Amino acid sequence: MSYKLFIPGPIAVSDKTLRAMAQPMIGHRSTDFVALYQSLQPGLQALAYTKDPVYLSTSSAWGLMEGAVRNVTRKKVLNCMNGAFSDKWNDVALRCGKPAGALKSEWGQPVDPEAVRRELATGAYDAITFIHNETSCGCMSDLPALMAVIRQFPDVISIVDTVSSFSAMPIRKDELGIDILISGSQKAFALPPGLSFCSPSKRALDRAAATEGRGYYFDLIEFQKNHENGMTPSTPVIPLIYALKSKLEDIKAEGLDQRHARHARLNQAVRDFIFAKGFKLFPREGYGSVTLNCFANTQNIDLAALNKTLKSKHKLVIDGGYGKLKGKTFRISNMGDETDETIAAMLKSFESALAETPKLA
Ligand SMILES: *Cc1c(COP(=O)(O)O)cnc(C)c1O
Q: What are the residue boundaries of the structural domains of the chain, listed by start?
A: 4-10+255-356, 16-252
Task: Please tell me the residue having the least CA distance from ligand 1 atom 12.
Answer: 163
Ligand 1 centroid to residue 294 C-alpha, Å:
16
Nearest atom in ligand 1 to the alpha carbon of residue 185 is 7
> Does residue 161 line the site of ligand 1, with CB under 6 A?
yes
**Quick one: DSSP state of residue 359?**
B
- Distance CA(141)–CA(81), nearest Å, equals 11
Task: Please tell me the residue having the least CA distance from ligand 1 atom 5.
Answer: 61
Q: 16-252 in CATH: which number?
A: 3.40.640.10
> Does residue 236 line the site of ligand 1, with CB under 6 A?
no
- Distance CA(295)–CA(329), nearest Å, equals 5
- CATH 3.90.1150.10 applies to domain 4-10+255-356: yes
Residue among 5, 7, 57, 62 whose CB has most ligand 1 atoms within 8 A, to mutate:
62
Ligand 1 centroid to residue 16 C-alpha, Å:
24
Distance from chain centroid for Cα 225: 26
> Does residue 85 line the site of ligand 1, with CB under 6 A?
yes
Ligand 1 centroid to residue 85 C-alpha, Å:
7
Q: What three-state secondary structure class fits 160? A: strand
Query: What pLDDT score was predicted for residue 361?
Result: 79
- Distance CA(211)–CA(227), nearest Å, equals 20
List, for residues 41-83, the tens digit of each pLDDT value.
999 999 999 999 999 999 999 999 999 999 999 999 999 999 9
Q: How many Cα atoms within 13 Å fall on the side-chain side of residue 359?
A: 5
pLDDT tens for the chain, residues 1 to 361: 689 999 999 999 999 999 999 999 999 999 999 999 999 999 999 999 999 999 999 999 999 999 999 999 999 999 999 999 999 999 999 999 999 999 999 999 999 999 999 999 999 999 999 999 999 999 999 999 999 999 999 999 999 999 999 999 999 999 999 999 999 999 999 999 999 999 999 999 999 999 999 999 999 999 999 999 999 999 999 999 999 999 999 999 999 999 999 999 999 999 999 999 999 999 999 999 999 999 999 999 999 999 999 999 999 999 999 999 999 999 999 999 999 999 999 999 999 999 999 999 7
Query: What pLDDT score was predicted for residue 260?
Result: 98
pTM: 0.98
> Does residue 83 line the site of ligand 1, with CB under 6 A?
no
> Does residue 88 line the site of ligand 1, with CB under 6 A?
no
Common-topology check for domains 4-10+255-356 and 16-252: no
DSSP track, 219-264: -HHHHHHHHTTT--SS---HHHHHHHHHHHHHHHHH-HHHHHHHHH
Ligand 1 centroid to residue 61 C-alpha, Å:
6
Ligand 1 centroid to residue 31 C-alpha, Å:
32
List, for residues 255-298, the tens digit of each pLDDT value.
999 999 999 999 999 999 999 999 999 999 999 999 999 999 99
Nearest atom in ligand 1 to the alpha carbon of residue 132 is 13
HEC assignment per residue over 167-195 = CCECCCHHHHCCCEEEEECCCCCCCCCCC
Task: Return the H-helix or E-strand segment holding 128.
Answer: strand 127-131
